[in-house]
Amino acid sequence: MTVEGAIYFSRFSPLYSKAISNAIKELIENHHLYQNYEFVYPSKTDLVDALAYTMAGATSGYDQFNDPVEEMRRSAPNYYWRICDRGNPLRNTPNSTSHFFFEFEPASIKVFCSNCDRQEPFNIIHGEDFTQKFERDYRDTSGSIVQNFALAYECQSCRGFPEMFLIRRNADKLSVCGRSPIERLPVLKIIPKEVRKFYSDAHLAFNSGQVLAANFLLRTSVEQFLRVRTKLPESKDVSQLLDDYAASLDEDFKGRFPSLKNIYEVLSLDIHNAEGSEDVFLDADSSIREHFDARRVYKLE
């Protein structure tokens, strides 16, 4: 890199660092295991502005910045990402295989803490690029960079065992490809306790992209609830269970709230066709919650 290039890079790199940090926060907070999230590079306008605001003598119009901006945009995907670790004396030692990198500082995140039983802010306590340890230039078959970051976050409130995330970067695609402990979801009090485990597992499956399994587990929540309420745990006749349960509800309730029979049938159709439709899951889930919430309002046991 020329001296001039290094000066330009020093103006551009804070934009990339911020974009990477924001992307990882968004990925962890709002995306589940294996869901892809596309990294958005700083725009041309942002890069031009970064030079215009900081370069002395920027008086002859924005055209003068065109070349360095285009060069940065072209080369940015080939830059490695490195975690800024202020406590690490080796942080300024370049990787032996890549001397060009964007350094970023993982931001605090807000996720569910099972100790505190609510959403809490978590601070980064350690992060590293595991792939860098192997001192090889890992690329996929199209020549794009592949990196795996391990990040550990600590709940600001309870400072319990850290939540750890494995983040994969493949070109512009980011995903959470591992998590320890597994994602825990807040328990919905309206879901009967006998079926909370199935209901919660259904959501974990959905969040991990296994929608067919999620629909099966959601249907299992309905079926197991019927067995408990109709006191026929051994029955092999699900239609009978659905009818018996419906007969136990008064007409006003049935006229106003989603029926478990409809929910069960829609989920069954999806399962038999091996579809795994996200819309089916979301509709059924919303109807199940509405049904159970109505039971709570009607004070049904």
Residues that bind Zn ion (CB under 5 A): 113, 115-116, 120, 155, 157-158
| C-alpha–C-alpha distance, residues 207 and 201, integer Å | 10
Structure tokens at 25: 């926060």
The b/e string for 214-229 (b: 16+ C-beta within 10 A; e otherwise) is: bbbbbbbbbbbbbbeb
Taking each helix axis as running N to C, give the angle between helix 278-297 and helix 260-272, from 0 to 180 degrees, rounded to the nearest 10: 160
3-state secondary structure of 179: strand
Q: For residue 60, is it left (φ>0), alpha (ψ between -120 and 50) or beta?
A: alpha
CB nearer to Zn ion: give 111 or 246. 111
List CB contacts of 66: < 8 A, sequence separation 6 or more.
Answer: none
Structure tokens at 184: 């825990």
Write the CA distances from 136 to 75, 98, 180, 247, integer angstroms. Answer: 20, 9, 26, 67
Give yes or no for a contact between 239 and 276, defined as CB atoms under 8 angstroms apart: no
Tell the smallest beta-carbon distance from residue 109 to Zn ion (Å).
13
CB nearer to Zn ion: give 171 or 187. 187
Query: Residue 202 burial by CB count (10 A; 0-12/13-18/19+): exposed, middle or buried?
Result: buried
CB nearer to Zn ion: give 163 or 285. 163
Tell the smallest beta-carbon distance from residue 155 to Zn ion (Å).
3
CB nearer to Zn ion: give 54 or 180. 180
State the sign of the Cα–Cα–Cα–Cα dihedral 52, 57, 59, 65.
negative
CB nearer to Zn ion: give 155 or 176. 155
CB nearer to Zn ion: give 96 or 115. 115
CB nearer to Zn ion: give 26 or 120. 120
Spatial CA neighbour of 186 closest among 286, 263, 115 = 115
3-state secondary structure of 191: coil
Tell the smallest beta-carbon distance from residue 179 to Zn ion (Å).
16
Tell the smallest beta-carbon distance from residue 113 to Zn ion (Å).
3
* Rg over CA atoms, the chain: 26
CB nearer to Zn ion: give 36 or 157. 157
